[in-house]
A and B are shown apart, each in its own frame.
Chain A
Amino acid sequence: MSDTPRETVPVTVLTGYLGAGKTTLLNRILTENHGQKFAVVINEFGELGVDNDLVVDADEEVFEMNNGCICCTVRGDLIRILAGLMKRRDRFDGIIVETTGLADPAPVAQTFFVDEDVKKATRLDSIVTVVDAKHLAQRLNDSREAEGQIAFADLILLNKMDLVSEAEAAVVEEKIRAINPTVEVIRTTNSAAPIASVIGRDAFSLERILAREPDFLSGEDDHEHDSEVNSMSFEVSRPIDPEKFNAWMTELLANKGQDLLRTKGILAYPGEDRRFAFQAVHMIADGDYISPWKPGQERKSRIVFIGRDLNRPQLRRGFEACQVEA
């Protein structure tokens, strides 16, 4: 491999239902005076249109990787387009990929973990989901995609705040947090979010895993809600045995990977000052040592699952059993 790894290009993925305010946000990012240039990959030409020098038309061609992993789907068109864009690398600072309202974000995210060429040239900066505060509850009831878009997001713009009361907004935000406890929610009207909060989040770097902590209330955080996608978080105080953890996680992802949308963890290994960060998108996992524990910091290992049909006692017992003997 090359001795001098080149700087990778950050890619921001914008998801959300048609009419939620995705294109408005995109145009804000493109027109605001921030000195950055973006290449934009879009799927549908809405009535609004996108005003930018470099706009690429995509097809959302999702295909299965022929590698024995049934849920390992990638966006073939994205692999092609990103390779094409890298031929004029000097013309932009970042890439924004807008998906259709019906898109499952998993294949987009997985493309950045599976394809070697994409990994070499780009990095997934964040998945930003724009939701309509007024209609989200209904969307969650009638579509699987809406849940997926919330589950995968690391930033949600709770948009059209001018159409709801504070009480209504609080209910919607609760629904969002029940699906995705680590997501940051920004309330907006007309998608007016500060660009710095949307671009350059570096949310998929291992260093930033669980930077926003959910309530690790020893598993008693059952929010009553009716959506299919759920989240569960666990915390243990004894160090984690890496071999036990790897064996457990390998089996868990192999058997349950289709239902596990996102898994994130920070682990304390015995006799190791550095924290071990772990993340997975369905079955595709990634992990490495990151910065050390802070002096005096309690070395608690934490893990968050976002998925469908999660079995809380089973997951808790599984994680607890990864601890070294007391």
Chain B
Amino acid sequence: MSEADDIAFLLDSRGVTRDLGAFVVEAAFGRDGRSLHFALGDGTVHGLLAAEPMGDWARVGAHRGAVLALCADAAEGVLSGGDDGRLVQVTAAGEAREVAALGRKWVEHVAAHPAGVRLAAQGRQVHVLNGAGKLLKVLEHPSTVGGVALDAKGKRIAASHYNGASIWYVAASEDKPRRLEWKGSHHAIAFHPDGSHVVTAMQEMSLHGWRLADGQHMRMSGYPAKTHSLSFSAKGRWLATSGADSVVLWPFFGGGPMGKAPTEIAGGDSVICTRVACHPQQEMVAAGFEDGLVLLADIASGRILPVAPPGRGGISALAWNPTGSHLAFGTESGTAGLVDLAKR
């Protein structure tokens, strides 16, 4: 991708960018795909209607300090966690409503499910709330939680920490976790779409996975940088990961990933991939790189569609809308972008 100038990037013909003036921590669409929100390091959340990107972008001060985490909320809008220890809902119209004030420690990870489950990780605790904002329970972990995930049904919670991960049931009357153990520090975490596996990214620049049926371990190593972003493809055949100078995809079929080599695509120019996001319906993956390049790759063929050229700062956020017609990205230097990939 070194001759970037000669390549037609989709952003030029089908996209819009704005400079929001602060590190883009995360991007997320609402569940209905109508609104898109960017969470920033200055505590603001910027929202727009995906269908009208040229219109007004509503800016709201959601947190004092930085926004540290953002996801689609259980019902409307997005859910954010921040420096100020608060959990905030930002509506499609761009209004911020406090869901919970959890104390002085950073709320570093959030997750939500349409079944009416919201999670906020703060220090060693994961707070579980319902759609109305009522605190259901507080789950304690042996060390600071590095990441949280809900399974596809919204019934199980996976939280990573030092020396492994814990699996909890949202509806359990007595909270006893299943501990998945593996020595080392675990951060980013993902549930396989069919609920069969949990995978974490580790401090030691490798991934670790567990097959939940029998607890079998999976070690996936060889990364030159830390993996911060994990994304399963729509049907769960592939796990796309950041942390290498290509998009590294592990096969979760045909006996894999145990004993199988990963597939690498979009590599070759020694720039580290920082974010990945699998298309919500097709076997395609969007990837963002340290130099600001965004691309879309077809997993089967390895064919690449350039989305945004390098130069606007390292990619720090990537998000699809639920139908996969729009891709949003954000950068460390404060650029936010939206590209319309719908058939015309």
Contact = CB atoms under 8 A, between A and B. Distances in A.
Given A84-B106, A87-B66, A87-B68, A116 B185 contact: no
A41 to B, nearest CB: 12
A67 B202 CA distance: 12
Interface string B171-208: 00000000000011100000000000000001111000
Contact of B203 (A54, A77, A115): A115
B185 A1 contact: no
Question: Residue among B183, B185, B270, B271 with the most chain A CB within 10 A?
Answer: B185
Given A76-B144, A116-B205, A89 B23 contact: yes
A214 B25 CA distance: 47
Contacts of A61: 143-144, 162
A86 B314 CA distance: 13
A34 interface: no
Given A76-B144, A80-B144, A88 B42 contact: yes
B258 interface: no
Sorting the interface of chain A by its residue count into under 10, 10 to 19, 20 to 34 or 35 or more gives 20 to 34
Contacts of B225: 116
Contacts of A54: 65
A202 interface: no
A116 B162 contact: no
A149 to B, nearest CB: 24
A288 interface: no
Given A79-B203, A115-B203, A87 B41 contact: yes
A88 B184 contact: no
A107 to B, nearest CB: 12
Interface in B217-263: 225-226
Sorting the interface of chain B by its residue count into under 10, 10 to 19, 20 to 34 or 35 or more gives 20 to 34
Contact of A2 (B22, B66, B105, B291): B291
Contacts of B272: 1
A88 B314 contact: no
Given A1-B272, A1-B290, A63-B162, A88 B204 contact: no
A1 B162 contact: no
B269 to A, nearest CB: 11
Given A61-B144, A63-B162, A117-B226, A88 B41 contact: yes
Contacts of B22: 88, 90
A7 interface: no
Nearest to A53: B65
Interface string A51-80: 000101101010101110000001011011
B123 interface: yes
A1 B66 contact: no
Given A1-B290, A67-B204, A88-B66, A57 B226 contact: no
Interface in B102-141: 104-106, 108, 123
A3 B289 CA distance: 13
A76 B143 CA distance: 10
A315 B178 CA distance: 50
A79 B144 CA distance: 12
B68 A84 contact: yes
Contacts of A117: 226
Contacts of A2: 271, 290-291, 314
A310 B164 CA distance: 38
Task: Tell me if B's interface is mostly helix, strand, loop or mixed.
Answer: loop
B108 A84 contact: yes
B144 A59 contact: yes
B206 to A, nearest CB: 9
A87 B204 contact: no
Interface string A1-32: 11100000000000000000000000000000
B205 A59 contact: no
B56 to A, nearest CB: 25
Interface in B9-37: 22-23, 25
A39 to B, nearest CB: 10
B123 A59 contact: yes
B185 to A, nearest CB: 5
Nearest to B270: A1
A117 B188 CA distance: 15
Contacts of B123: 59
Question: Residue among A57, A88, A90, A115 with the most chain B CB within 10 A?
Answer: A88
Contacts of B162: 61, 63, 76
Contacts of B183: 66
Contacts of B202: 66
A117 B183 CA distance: 21
A84 B123 CA distance: 13
A84 B144 contact: no
Given A1-B271, A63-B185, A87-B23, A57 B144 contact: no
Contacts of B108: 80, 84
Contacts of A89: 23, 41
Interface of A: 1-3, 54, 56-57, 59, 61, 63, 65-67, 74, 76-77, 79-80, 84, 86-90, 115-117
23 contacts: A54-B65, A57-B104, A59-B123, A63-B143, A65-B184, A65-B204, A66-B183, A66-B184, A66-B185, A76-B185, A77-B144, A84-B66, A84-B108, A87-B41, A88-B22, A88-B41, A88-B65, A88-B66, A89-B41, A116-B205, A116-B225, A116-B226, A117-B226
Given A1-B290, A63-B162, 7 more contacts: A61-B143, A63-B185, A66-B185, A74-B203, A80-B108, A80-B146, A86-B23
